[in-house]
Structure 1
Amino acid sequence: MLNDSVIDRILAHLPRCTIGVLGDLFLDRYLDIDSHLNEPSLETGLTAYQVVRIRSYAGAAGTVINNLAALGTGRILPISFIGDDGEGYELRQALARWANVDGRHILITAERRTPTYTKPMLDGRELNRLDIKNRTPTPPLLEEKLCEKLQECWHEADAWLVLDQVSEADCGVVTGRVRELLAQLASQDPTKFVLADSRERIGLFRHVSLKPNERECRRACGAGQETPIEHCVEQLVRSGGRTVFCTQGEAGILLGEEQEGRVRLQRVAAYPVTGPIDPVGAGDSCSAGIVSAVLAGGNRAAAAAFGNLIASITIQQIGVTGTATPQQVRQRWQIVK
């Protein structure tokens, strides 16, 4: 599936590509705590943790953007919204680190908060996370602006990645209305590669390729653990109409494609990793790898393999949602090929 020339072709082609990213932007904020500096609170008697460093990164769709940028994508075109708040300012700063991210189509609104995952890290160990999310429906006017942006930018991008991160229905960027427009545009432009990832609603996407994990795949099909995952992938292929990349961690990717009226399933192995791992963001880095390989002319199996290769790099980066540079990709490939 992969060889030296395929790897070189993918990495050489990416700087000529424009990739659109439609979805929920979160701020990932890490609070590094030094336990040696703990103080008792005079008011409550509880331990007051002392934060010695704050690290802020673009998360959710931002993790996809970070990975595309690190791989050397020529231009990245995000469509999203964030709040007119301090977290939104931090998020814009995080995205501004990448010269190849075109942030003109990120809407800033006082009607929403910037979704934020705050992760206290006590001596490198993550404590209970603190979440800020929007739990009311996205205002119709904001939906309309998102749809306008998607229509405006559709033909500018060579491919699209879609990330539906918010669990609550219609409370994020990819609402039912936005998803319907996406299906319409994708059906009218079937040669454009579109890859959708959704925590709760992967089965509602049409005319695009899908990247669920095993839990999301089963949920979309209403299947329990006793149902073979192969049956669920086949069902998603038939209902969604395009390729399904079902990620299964160390088992790799179960790839489903319709060919001549039949669904063909293929197992694409993961690459072995030793030592401690941090799987946070692995799926997003895999998505970035998949779309990068497809744009370079790779078949879907090669794209799945390249996605697995990128994920095998990022999961070894502990305490942060990792990325992979072209140099890291080449080094990792020399180890696992």
Structure 2
Amino acid sequence: MANQFDLKKILDSFKDITIGVVGDLMLDDYIIGTVERISPEAPVPVVTVKEERFALGGAANVVNNLNALQAKTICFGIIGNDANGDRLINAFLEKNIDPSSIIKTNTLPTIVKKRVLAGNQQLLRIDWEDSSPILPVLEDQLIEEFKKNIDKLDAVILSDYDKGVLTPKVAKEIVRLCREKNIIVNVDPKPKNALNYMGASSMTPNKKEAIECMGIKTDDFEKLGKDLKEKLNLNNLLLTRSEEGMSLFLDKVVNIPTFAQEVYDVTGAGDTVISVFTLASAAGVSLHEAAKIANTAAGVVVGKVGTSTATKEEILEFYEKIYDKWGV
């Protein structure tokens, strides 16, 4: 187990690591207000707006999580040649994230998910998107951009929200290239696309996603994880099980408990898990320790409202509370 000093050293080493992120880039818009009455026009709440803000979402939230921990990132994705695409690029620039490997197109809009919240309760979500698979010309551009940068990468994250970027051609070619170069390639999958990621280093599905990947309903999570790892020829599998913690499938199964705290919002928690698990793995710690650090970071972000990230200081503090205190 990493003690406080060792963990700080691990987290400090993240600044020397470069992670490639490939996937569906989005913006998360939030309208936040209060509800005191029902509309006379229809049986719906009237929200008095107090604040409007946006955050990086989807694969862009993975980039944001990595950036919050001072890692270097190269982001590969497709956005619309539109005002929302400009917003996303500007948000990257404000955070000193290089957006030069992101491709703009006139054929698809930038994905935006707008949420209306009142009293920490989500009342409505409105999505602007076209989840059609990207055109072959964009597939080729994306793969070429990845090839140009692959030698700079210590690890790769494929962030699949099933919005058309990680087509079978793109997914399989990136996994192949990473295996050829012996680069860690971890996947946050959508179940319907799971077979596209055969041979990846790791996958981080939740239990529901794993069940859908296997096409069977079962309560035997250990068999589920072992079968999925074998089916997809993965080096390891990190299965997240909500309040039951995580299970890491190596040659044996390692269960990592979670600890009760107030949960405000699970939005983006999966992005945090794969970001921190991949970073810690690339830093050279054991996969068990990487999973524990990822579990800690996820515990931090679910205690925040909206798409969030965890800082090094928050991870250090929470890790001490749960692992060093309980000795697990």
Deviations 1:139-169 (A, max 9, x none): 1111111111111111111111110112xxx
SS at structure 2 position matched to 1:165: coil
- Structure 2, unmatched stretches of 5+, are none
1:233 paired residue among 225, 230, 252: 225
Relative to structure 1, the CA distance from residue 46 to residue 174 in structure 2 (aligned partners, 3 Å threshold; closer, same or farther) is closer
1:38 is displaced (CA, Å) by 8.5
Equivalent residue, structure 2, for 1:183: 175
Distance 2:207 2:44 in 1: 41
Query: Of the candidates 80, 85, 88, which is equivalent to residue 85 of structure 2?
Result: 88
- Is the alpha carbon distance of 1:140 and 1:330 closer, same or farther for their aligned partners in structure 2, counting shifts above 3 Å? same
The AA in structure 2 aligned to 1:89 is: D
Q: How far does residue 54 in structure 1 lie from its aligned partner after superposition?
A: 1.6
The residue number in structure 2 matching 1:212 is 205
Distance 1:21 1:109 in 2: 19
8 Å Cα contact 2:203-2:234 kept in structure 1: no
Is residue 266 from structure 1 mapped to residue 254 from structure 2 by the alignment?
yes
1:199 shift after superposition: 2.1
Q: In the alignment, is residue 122 of structure 1 matched against residue 118 of structure 2?
A: yes
The CA RMSD measured in Å over matched residues stands at: 2.1
Question: Residues 181-215 of structure 1, C-alpha deviation per residue, up to 9 Å, x if partnerless?
Answer: 0121122123x211111122234312211111111
Q: Deviations over 1:218-272 (max 9, x none)?
A: 111121135x121221122223231111111122211112xxxxx42221222x1
Paired-residue identity, %: 25
Give the equivalent residue in structure 1 for 2:76: 79
1:202 and 1:216 in contact (8 A); partners too:
no
| 2:58 aligned partner | 60
Q: Distance in 1 between matches of 2:131 and 2:98?
A: 28
The alpha-carbon distance between structure 1 residues 130 and 220, as it changes in their structure 2 partners (threshold 3 A), is same
Distance in structure 1 (CA, Å) of the matches to 2:273 and 2:108: 29
Give the AA of the match of 1:152: K
For the residues of structure 2 that align with 1:36 and 1:237, how far apart are their CA atoms? 50
Q: Say how many residue pairs are matched.
A: 320
8 Å CA contact retained: 1:253, 1:269: yes
What corresponds to 2:239 in structure 1?
Answer: 246
Quote the offset at 1:47 in angstroms: 6.9
2:283 aligned to which of 296, 311, 328:
296
Deviates more, 1:86-95 or 1:208-217: 86-95
1:316 correspondence with 2:308: no
Q: Contact (CA 8 Å) 2:218, 2:224: kept in 1 or not?
A: no
> Which residue identity lines up with residue 184 of structure 2 in the other structure?
F
Correspondence for 1:307: 294
SS at match of 2:94: coil
* Counterpart residue number, 2:190: 199
Match of 1:334 in 2: 320
Q: Secondary structure at the match of 2:21?
A: strand
Structure 1 residue 275, shift from structure 2 partner: 2.5
Structure 1 residues 287 and 45: CA distance shift in structure 2, 3 A? closer
Residue 17 of structure 1 corresponds to 17
TM-score (norm 1): 0.88
CA contact (8 A) 2:27 2:57 kept: yes
- 8 A Cα contact 2:120 2:264, kept in partner: no
In structure 1, runs of 5+ residues without a counterpart are: 258-262
Amino acid at match of 1:131: D
